[in-house]
Structure 1
Amino acid sequence: MWNLPPKTLLALILAGIAAPAYAADPAEKPFLAENAAAMGKMMDGMAPKPSGDVDKDFVAMMVPHHQGAIDMAQAELRHGHNEQLRRIAQEIIVEQQQEIAAMRLALGQPLPPSVASPDQAAATTMHKDH
């Protein structure tokens, strides 16, 4: 059922994230699985090899942290129903993307190409069809 490295799975269980998936309503399992994957990816990314440059290391740890928040917010948009929480999730995506860009710019790092999130692309397609 779980296809995560043991270290990541243990971290998620200890954090109380993975445990609810075992007892969850079947309809909630895709959301919980996406969040567990986002948390695992985030936790792994937040442990880079030190470079000897505090600023560079800070950004190297913070970018996966912010990306994890983006990934979790996208899962809320895909599966959530509460309109207030969906708006908050949209704000999280925008704010976290801006912070990632600001940190990379502060170090003179290139920015990734600007692309719509999967949910934004799907919403654009839906609106064009109607």
Structure 2
Amino acid sequence: MSRNKFGLLVLPLLLAGGAATAAEIANNEHPFLAATAAAMDRMMAAMTIKPSGDVDRDFEAMMTPHHQGAIDMAVAELKYGRNDQLKRIAQEIIVDQQQEIAAMQLALGKPLPPSMPAPTQGAMSPMRMEH
């Protein structure tokens, strides 16, 4: 789905909630849509692999960026979203997807990804939440 179509689908859903003003939606919607579109673009590019001849390795090579895309979109929800229940779900998505990436890498004998601050914390995170 193109970014424009995604935006056209999301805006009516946001407006239907009635909780936010049009200005608040515009202030959060544009950077949210940009962040999720960038996440989708990175994910789709990284999922396009040259087959290795090993189904298991190819599965992990495609699923890792797929899971990272979910993490990146969940981080955008944490940064721009307002619904506490959805923000809790986004936090769970981040943890679950990170664990699944690590499990797939371990299953193939790869080293674990390096330990890093949570995507929403730490000075190095581009998606650091502001309070």
Query: Any conservation in 2 of the 1:41–1:68 contact (CA below 8 Å)?
Result: yes
Structure 1 residue 112, shift from structure 2 partner: 1.6
Counterpart residue type for residue 109 of structure 1 = K
> Whole-Å Cα distance in 2 between the matches of residues 84 and 53 of structure 1?
40
Query: Any conservation in 2 of the 1:104–1:110 contact (CA below 8 Å)?
Result: yes
Secondary structure at 2:51's aligned position in 1?
coil
Tell me the equivalent position of 2:59.
Answer: 58
Judging changes above 3 Å, is the alpha-carbon distance between structure 1 residues 105 and 82 closer, same or farther for their aligned structure 2 residues?
same
- Identity, % of aligned pairs? 61
Instruction: Output the aligned Cα RMSD.
Output: 2.2
The reply on whether 1:26 has 2:26 as its aligned counterpart is yes
Structure 1 residue 20, shift from structure 2 partner: 4.3
Query: Any conservation in 2 of the 1:18–1:36 contact (CA below 8 Å)?
Result: no
> Whole-Å Cα distance in 1 between the matches of residues 119 and 92 of structure 2?
15
The reply on whether 1:89 has 2:90 as its aligned counterpart is yes
Q: Which sections of structure 1, spanning at least 5 residues, go unmatched?
A: 1-11
> Whole-Å Cα distance in 1 between the matches of residues 119 and 94 of structure 2?
12
The reply on whether 1:72 has 2:58 as its aligned counterpart is no
1:17-41 per-position Cα deviation (integer Å, ceiling 9, x unaligned)? 4434479653110000000000011
> Whole-Å Cα distance in 2 between the matches of residues 96 and 90 of structure 1?
10
Query: Any conservation in 2 of the 1:74–1:89 contact (CA below 8 Å)?
Result: yes
Structure 1 residue 110, shift from structure 2 partner: 1.0
Task: Point out the more displaced range, 41-50 or 63-72.
Answer: 41-50
More helix by share: 1
Counterpart residue type for residue 94 of structure 1 = V
Query: Any conservation in 2 of the 1:21–1:33 contact (CA below 8 Å)?
Result: no
